[in-house]
Chain A
């Protein structure tokens, strides 16, 4: 038993290192900053996380104090930056930027920041998102693909294994039922088994105590 434990732990420790676990994303900065009061309406809102955000699932919403939506189009992910264009914002209002992104470790991360636009704010700031989001996106895509590999074949294998095993289970358990001397080797509800197991065990234990 002890030898087994050592072997298993050593073998598995190696596997653990090889597994591509990722960390949870944390918002580390934003443009505009949380709670900032702006003198010029932003054309784009950018959220910065501590590490690359996964493509495809990021959502950013910009909501005014009266519940109106101001985001223009969907969120763009470029490595650790998630940005969204905004429609020309009305001056003198509070806005909430809500986000829900897929963290590198596969968990959705939700949060919000707020900013206020001064009453005398100028119309629209120049789009500060000078970086080309498309380029960043392809780079991140490639990195993700390299980290994950394809899963298409795995699905085929698993479906095949499932079918074979399902047939095997049906046949083997049916066969195992007949020769059992107790005649109560039912398969299915675990609760039923536990009950019969208990009762059976009690009588057996009693017999042995008598003998």
Chain B
């Protein structure tokens, strides 16, 4: 079956993945450089390997997690009514889910190593330092928990490779989303009565963003080449994406503004432009605003054609949308670590 098909001039799935990954990594490095804490006299600072390596590893963690969530969503988007059509797609996504889950777990563990190195500048972190970090700092435990969830997702993914759709798709989605939960704990929070609402907003934000971006990338890469499946899957994804857009936008605003308003010494609205955190919130808001027209074009212009299984340039539009999402993911890496004040 591996007949060499003639190269197509149109934008393929690998462009979508590439755009997402490259934009995320570049944005993470640039935004982290922007928010880097300047060296102060008398204090040793971590070297460039940690300064650039940490955001890269952290964004790879996010990308792998998005991939796991997106790939886990594919069976739900395709439906279970026509296995003879969906099975070729799923046979491809299932092993990839396992691989992505492994990458996620490894990146989470690597992030622990890098964060230990960041706290112990000068020299490689020893096992003792890493153990002390995980034992003493909640961020380390959160990442460890995330790695454990990723491994669980890999295990369930393996069962799906072996037994197919007899392993419930919902279970795979839930385990993948569960692994995202500890991630916000590694970011900021506030000490106030608003702690719980803001944490819930943050959890919603992380899960919504992963489902939205992951679902979109998976649809573009694995479903878009099959017009008859896309006619079914895209309307389903579109409904989910609308909910995700609202959830992500709203929860992002609540988290960003709430965190700033409740941090001592920060005065709104001035801090929105003067603090690193505020600028990054504005950047993410602008990226979201840019995604909306692209998403609306796919939703309202292209989808009627796609429903009739007509050829469209949907992958190109999705690639642009996904590139913006990648940028937002990169900025997110910096925002979790930027100083608020």
Contact = CB atoms under 8 A, between A and B. Distances in A.
Interface stretch (A35-43, A55-63, A115-123, A125-133): A55-63
Nearest to B100: A190
Contact of A17 (B119, B154, B196): B196
B182 interface: yes
Interface in B289-334: 309
A61 B227 CA distance: 64
A184 B43 contact: no
A172 B161 contact: yes
Main secondary structure of the interface of B (DSSP, over half): helix
B88 interface: yes
Which of A19, A110, A168, A188 has the largest number of chain B CB atoms within 10 A?
A: A19
Nearest to A4: B170
Given A51-B191, A198-B14, A182 B88 contact: yes
Interface stretch (B26-34, B136-144, B279-287): B136-144
Contacts of A204: 88, 225-226
A154 B144 contact: yes
Interface in A137-177: 144, 147-152, 154-155, 157-158, 161-162, 165, 168-169, 172-173, 175-176
A202 B173 CA distance: 28
B42 A69 contact: yes
A46 to B, nearest CB: 16
B66 interface: no
B190 A23 contact: yes
Given A54-B137, A56-B132, A169-B98, A102 B119 contact: yes
A106 to B, nearest CB: 3
Contacts of A105: 138-139, 187-189
A2 B251 CA distance: 19
Contacts of A110: 37-40, 43, 45
B261 interface: no
A169 B92 contact: no
B95 A173 contact: yes
Interface string A189-205: 01101111111111111
A79 interface: no
B339 interface: yes
B5 A61 contact: no
A106 B63 CA distance: 22
A202 B5 contact: yes
Contacts of B228: 205, 208
16 contacts: A1-B236, A1-B239, A12-B178, A16-B199, A63-B42, A100-B43, A169-B158, A176-B162, A182-B88, A184-B1, A190-B100, A191-B14, A193-B92, A194-B17, A198-B12, A208-B227
Given A54-B137, A107-B139, A185-B92, 13 more contacts: A15-B178, A19-B182, A51-B191, A56-B136, A61-B40, A62-B42, A98-B40, A144-B136, A154-B144, A169-B102, A172-B158, A198-B221, A202-B8
